[in-house]
Amino acid sequence: MLSQKTTLTIVLIVTFFLGSFASTQAKEKALILQEMSWLDVKEYLKDNGMVIIPLGSTEQHGKHMPLGTDYYEAFGMSRIISERTGVIVAPVLFVGYSEYHSGFPGTLSLKPETMEQVVYESAEMLMKYGFRRFMFFNYHGGNNIVQQRIIHRINHNTEATAIAIGIGGSIQKSENGEFFDWHAGKSETSIMLYLKPELVKMQRAEKPEIRMTPQVQELFELSKKYPELGEVASSMLGVPAETKKGGASHELSSNGVWSFSDPKSATKEMGQKKVEMMVEAAVKFIEAWKMAKK
């Protein structure tokens, strides 16, 4: 008969190994195309034709966050999804469509048609090797129209199938957050505090002065009674200064932050909750798609 001390030791050892196994099962090493060899990719394609392409941007995100915020968010969440599903992530671009942020130095932007062609041609190369299921994880609203066009071209001109699993797609359910916390505000700062805290300078964070035109203000006010007018108001924001709608970033915000909230109120915990929600939605979809073998 085992002594009480021996029994306790065995229990602790079993618990340790079970915990380690569960941890390993929950989180594998992310598969990043640029970190793999051609042989690794060949082996992967023997039983998996899925690929995730993150879409972000290089654009101003206030005084407190890096220009690459949207890229780090798209890539960071794609990496976590890869850890949980074993699907390759293939970053193609650091730049998106961001012309309306160019009133602040450092912003880079591609014309929508240029971005579309670069990403589409990259997808065509991946198809050449056997990739057939494309998932775009976008985290920049300015890329939505480009993402739609790429997905349409893949679905209507190739043997592959493509879908959006980030913003701009139906996989992610809209969250009822604070009104007008769109860019570099409380929500996005929280996400970066979770994903890339070393790049966030909270000592610089400040609440912006928001300067909406009288026309946009009127439309938002009317949208309280007629919600459909909110879309009209939104369409006048995030547009180049040349349109004379007053919706370019530097016209709208004193520091590049688009929010009525104070980014100083952001927390890592809020960011983790948001990231987990988006990641889980994507993982659930991918695991369901895996069940379709053909």
Question: Chain-centre distance of CA 40, in angstroms?
Answer: 26
Prediction pTM value: 0.89
pLDDT at 10: 47
Domains of the chain: 28-207+266-290 (3.40.50.10310), 211-252 (no CATH)
pLDDT at 294: 75
86-116, pLDDT tens digit by residue?
999 999 999 999 999 999 999 999 999 999 9
- Please provide residue 200's backbone torsions phi and psi, each rounded to the nearest 5 degrees: -100, 125
User: Tens place of pLDDT for every residue, the chain, 294 residues?
Assistant: 555 555 544 444 444 444 444 433 456 899 999 999 999 999 999 999 999 999 999 999 999 999 999 999 999 999 999 999 999 999 999 999 999 999 999 999 999 999 999 999 999 999 999 999 999 999 999 999 999 999 999 999 999 999 999 999 999 987 767 789 999 999 999 999 999 999 999 999 999 999 999 999 999 999 999 999 999 999 999 999 999 999 999 999 999 999 999 999 999 999 999 999 999 999 999 999 999 987
Nearest to 53 by CA among 194, 200, 154: 154
